[in-house]
Amino acid sequence: MSSSGGRFPPHTHTHHYFPLPPPDHPPTHQPPRRPISPHRHRYRRRRSSGSRSSRGTKNSCMAGVQERQYEEFFGGFYFDEDALSKDISLDGLDKELEEHKNYDVLISILTNGEKQRDMATMVEGNLGHIEQDLIQDYIKDNDSLVLLHDQIHDCDIVLSQIGSLLSGFQVHIGSLSSELRSLHEKSLDLGVRLKNRKLAETKLAAFVEEIVAPPGLVNAIIDGEVNDDYIKSLNMLSKKLRFAQVDPLLNASKALKDIKQELERLRKKALSKVSAYVIGIFSSMRKPGTNIQILQQNLLQKYRHLVLFLKEHGIEKYNDVCAAYVDKMNKVLSEDFRVYLEALESLKLDIGVSTDVIGYDANVVDLIPRGREQLRNHRFMFSLGERSNILKEIDQPGLVPCISEANSLKYPYEVIFRSLQKLLMDTASSEYIFIKAFFRDESMFYRVFEDHLIGQSIYGFDQLWLKQLDNPTCQHHRGGPGPVAVIDENMKLTLANSHDAICLMLMICITKKHQLVMSNRRLPCLDTYLDKALIYLWPRFKTVFDMYIQSLYQCDAKMLWVDGTHPHHIVRCYMEFTASLIQLNAECGDGQLDMSLKRLRLAVDDLLVRFAEKFATQKLKHLFLLNNCDMAISILKEAGEEAKELRRYFEEKLESNLVSFVDELLMEYFGDLIKFVKNHISEDLISYTECPNIADVEPVVKNFAVKWRTALELMHNEVVTCCSNFVSGMAILKAAMAQLLNDYNRLSECVKMIPGGSSLNRNLVSITSISYEIRKYSRTL
């Protein structure tokens, strides 16, 4: 190791001797080192010789080292001041000085060159002393360095031993890892074996448990009573029987073959016991006073699993049970409906029988043949009245016949029909829900409610039955007349003898509302029945309606005519009948009545014309038509906005007859005035149809002045007496008075314009007097 290397580290001294780049313009590269002057060797020789003289030969080697260091650190900046100028090249010196003129070191050297040389000599001497001091320090620490070397050597030996020991540990750990991997593989293999054995044990245990019939199960099936525990045992047996049928491979098992005979024996015993028990419950339904619905909900629903067992494991026994239920319920419900219908018949009020049709031929029917007194007893067949309340009570319970009411309260047939339909809907809904939950076979419902005319049922069960006849579950019961057949028979008999169109229309409305009720219940069991009921009712209604129309055309007007101008009772019946149908059509009609009502209006118009022709004068004819139109309007107003079109028709007809009647009335009491005005005076009072003279006007004026008050009073009394409606009479009087006042005003103006007419002024009645008299009658009205 060189001592100078440790004494002069380059990074501690270089900044004192190398120039730095200028602060404003740093150079992109270091300036090239100047070539070493050949006079440096002279300087080195002089320094070396000085050193030998002061320190001796011992430091000659170190002097050479110092020289090399000086050359490395201070190279081109030290030169021999005695060097010849010919050995120094000054080419490019000016350029270099110009480039490095801002270097502080260069400026310092150029400014103080002599001082720098002295300083360098002083530094060189100080470095020599420092070097000697460092050598002495190294000599003093020589023993410590030797001891440190020995310690390092001992540590190397210990580390070598530890390395050998760790290598042994590594080999041992490698062998342990191999053993652990082997043990892990064995553990995995044992785990797979254990899992397979557990799986096999589980499946085998399940298999054994499914096929083996424990003694407790056998005793419960054979000797136990049918209760909740028996149902649990039955479910266990069903599970075992089902298990043997799921996988065909299980049938090849010897264990299953051994137990299969025992399971079959238990199945047969369970089927026999369950079917006998369920049929016994069905038989109890026929006991008098039995509430079937409570029995179904509280008892049978609890044992629905028994029927499911029969259906799954014994189809023949299941068919027997179904046939027994259908037979029992068919008979029970049919008998209940028959008894209920017989009780309701005693409450029926006969309306619209064959003797109650308007003026048909004697060979057909004769409705209202004897006038008003006979009509009062049959008013319900034309007027809706309170009968419409039944549509608001559509969800109310049906009639419950009582012995005390048998001879007191009577009801129209629509009330009985609603009660019967209500009972059918409630019974069918309950039965449908029960059968669907208990047997899970909707077709059984139709077998319970079947019609005795299979294939010709009016209620639509025929198509469904044709499909069900191929079902083996239907072969045990072909059924007798069911509840629907009982209702059908009663309805056909009643409708054939009914001529009450209001009742038939109410029945149609009731049926439509019952369709809505069943739709809200989300039960389709009576959809076809209700549709067929409407198909039955509409044709009958139209038949009866046609009978009403034909009776109007074919009635004898002479026989029914009443000598009077008040509204005719037949017209009143028609208007009440029309208003009733309009209300019902708005309630639940479908437009089928619109054309029928127009036909009926034309028939009554024809009858009114025939009645009017029986009067001797036009005045009475118009008064008769006016009173009937007024009566029609008042009745139609009660029907509401639905009757506005028909009401408008009669209002126009009323206006036309009112104008004609007023003309006839004025012509009767003021004929000479009316004729004179019409013949001689125009409406504008300017032109004359015939030029009048004083002789023509004088009788008219004097006659009016004599009798006008008396004529007004007579006209007032006649209108009040003949008009059936006070409002209508008032309107007639107002129109007549206004027309009279207008005509007399025209006469007065005519008199003023005739030559010599001023002589009649004393006979003219003032307009004020006539107006006062008219207002007096108006106040009286």
Higher pLDDT among residues 435 and 760, named by residue: 435
User: Are the C-beta atoms of residues 475 and 354 closer than 8 Å to each other?
Assistant: no
**C-alpha distance from residue 600 to each of 541, 547, 622 (Å):** 14, 11, 22
Higher pLDDT among residues 663 and 481, named by residue: 663
For residue 132, what pLDDT is reported? 86
For residue 4, what pLDDT is reported? 39
For residue 32, what pLDDT is reported? 44
Angle among Cα 520, 524, 530 to the nearest 5 degrees reads 90
Region 389-418: what's the mean pLDDT? 80
Q: Which of 47-61, 177-191, 672-686, 759-773 is predicted most confidently?
A: 177-191
At 537, is the pLDDT very low, low, confident or very high (cuts 50, 70, 90)?
very high
Segment among 61-70, 267-276, 320-329 with least mean pLDDT: 61-70
Say which residues have a Cβ less than 8 Å from residue 772's Cβ, sequence separation at least 6: none
Question: In the predicted model, what is the mean pLDDT of the chain?
Answer: 76
Segment among 257-266, 333-342, 726-735 with least mean pLDDT: 257-266
Please tell me the distance from the alpha carbon of residue 621 to that of residue 369, in angstroms, as a whole number: 23
| 626: nearest Cα among 637, 645, 612 | 612
pLDDT over 60 (residue 758): yes
pLDDT over 80 (residue 446): yes
Higher pLDDT among residues 691 and 302, named by residue: 302
**C-alpha distance from residue 544 to each of 354, 358, 574 (Å):** 10, 11, 14
For residue 2, what pLDDT is reported? 41
Higher pLDDT among residues 310 and 374, named by residue: 310
The string of pLDDT tens digits covering residues 204-261 is: 776 666 666 777 778 878 888 888 888 888 888 888 777 766 666 666 666 667 677 7
Tokens 């639509």 belong to 460
For residue 711, what pLDDT is reported? 87
Specify burial of residue 503 (Cβ count, 10 A radius: 0-12, 13-18, 19+): buried
Please tell me the distance from the alpha carbon of residue 126 to that of residue 588, in angstroms, as a whole number: 135
Please tell me the distance from the alpha carbon of residue 320 to that of residue 332, in angstroms, as a whole number: 18
For residue 10, what pLDDT is reported? 41
Q: What is the CA radius of gyration of the chain?
A: 68
pLDDT over 50 (residue 11): no
pLDDT over 80 (residue 88): no
pLDDT over 60 (residue 320): yes
For residue 94, what pLDDT is reported? 77
User: Are the C-beta atoms of residues 7 and 134 closer than 8 Å to each other?
Assistant: yes
Percent of the chain with pLDDT over 90: 9
Q: What is the DSSP letter of 348?
A: B
At 418, is the pLDDT very low, low, confident or very high (cuts 50, 70, 90)?
very high
Please tell me the distance from the alpha carbon of residue 366 to that of residue 381, in angstroms, as a whole number: 14
- To the nearest 10°, report the CA torsion of 413, 418, 422, 425: 100
Please tell me the distance from the alpha carbon of residue 559 to that of residue 754, in angstroms, as a whole number: 56
At 114, is the pLDDT very low, low, confident or very high (cuts 50, 70, 90)?
low
At 480, is the pLDDT very low, low, confident or very high (cuts 50, 70, 90)?
low
For 562-583, letters b (16+ CB in 10 Å) and e give eeebbbbbbbbbbbbbbbbbbb
Percent of the chain with pLDDT over 70: 74
Region 382-409: what's the mean pLDDT? 78
Segment among 119-123, 383-387, 607-611 with least mean pLDDT: 119-123
For residue 519, what pLDDT is reported? 92
Q: What is the DSSP letter of 285?
A: G
For residue 6, what pLDDT is reported? 40
Helices (H), 224-355: 228-246, 254-283, 292-295, 304-313, 315-345
pLDDT over 50 (residue 327): yes
Size of the chain in residues: 781
pLDDT over 60 (residue 35): no
At 754, is the pLDDT very low, low, confident or very high (cuts 50, 70, 90)?
confident
Higher pLDDT among residues 488 and 364, named by residue: 488
